[in-house]
Amino acid sequence: MTQAKTGRGKNIKPVRDAEATQAVILAAAEEEFAQHGFTATRTEAIADKTKVAKSMIYYYFKDKEGLYRAVLTRSHADLLETIQKLELEQLSPEVALENFLRALLNCVSRNPRLPTIMFHEAVQNQGKYYKESSSVNIDTILIAILERGLTAGVFRSLDPFQAAINIMGACLFYFIGAGNIKQFPQGKRLLSKAMLEQHAQEAIALILAGVRSS
């Protein structure tokens, strides 16, 4: 007798086990890709870290490329969902930009590996997988906000594409450069809750002051 015939709900556990195993693999893979990038990450290291057989990783994700694509999807999911719920197109450009930035910084604070993964993606892969990821949608949303503000005259004369690049840099370099920044002898914990909130406030204030029309 199969599990499906033994009663309602009896087949739930294998599904949950599969989902839990994939979640463990993705969490470990995210850590490895953030540290080493796609090129240098070894599937064997992920298997060792998770105690999941390498063959099982390939069963779920086909190969390292499939696993990497899944990590990119997973790492962007929280941010994309959060931004979509904000309905930014219904807000004034300035309020939309502030809400976008706070959502971005809050999500990245919860997952500080994301900027590092995308840094490796740019350096190692020249954006091969970036163009397929949700990051493109997020960048497009930011550019659209800047275009609306420019059209409405509430933002100064700027190139929305270039401004979006600079805005992302102001928000995300803090996380990418944390290893260098923490070497300054100030005894500050860059990823502490207090420091992350201070970074968010400083970055948002800087960006809004920089784009507002005088």
Segment 167-203, tens digit of pLDDT? 999 999 999 998 888 887 677 788 899 999 999 999 9
Could you read off the pLDDT of 121-163 as tens digits, one per residue?
Answer: 999 999 999 888 888 889 999 999 999 999 999 999 999 999 9
Question: 136 is written with which tokens?
Answer: 């493109």
Q: Give the pLDDT confidence score for residue 78 in this predicted structure.
A: 86
Burial (CB count within 10 angstroms: exposed 0-12, middle 13-18, buried 19+), residue 21? middle
Evaluate whether 55 touches 114 at the Cβ level (below 8 Å): no
Kindly report the pTM of this predicted structure: 0.85
Residue type, 165: I
Q: Are 189 and 171 in contact (CB under 8 A)?
A: no
What pLDDT does 183 receive?
Answer: 82
Statement: residue 13 has pLDDT above 60: no
pLDDT category of residue 5 using cuts at 50, 70 and 90:
very low
Could you tell me the residue range of the domain that residue 31 belongs to?
Answer: 3-211
CA angle 124/78/154 to nearest 5° reads: 90
Residue with tokens 């219904």: 90
- In the block, residue with structure tokens 């493109």: 136
pLDDT beyond 90 at 209: yes
Phi-psi region of 53 (alpha: psi -120 to 50; beta: other; left: phi over 0): beta
Is residue 88 predicted with pLDDT exceeding 70?
yes
155 forms beta bridges with: 212
> pLDDT for 36-73, tens place per residue?
999 999 999 999 999 999 999 999 999 999 999 999 99
Show Cβ contacts of residue 173 under 8 Å, excluding neighbours closer than 6 positions: 115
Report the 10 Å Cβ neighbour count for 201: 12
pLDDT at 151: 97
For position 157, which CATH number holds? 1.10.357.10
Q: Count the domains in the chain.
A: 1
| Maximum C-alpha span of the chain | 75
Please give the DSSP secondary-structure letter assigned to residue 128.
T
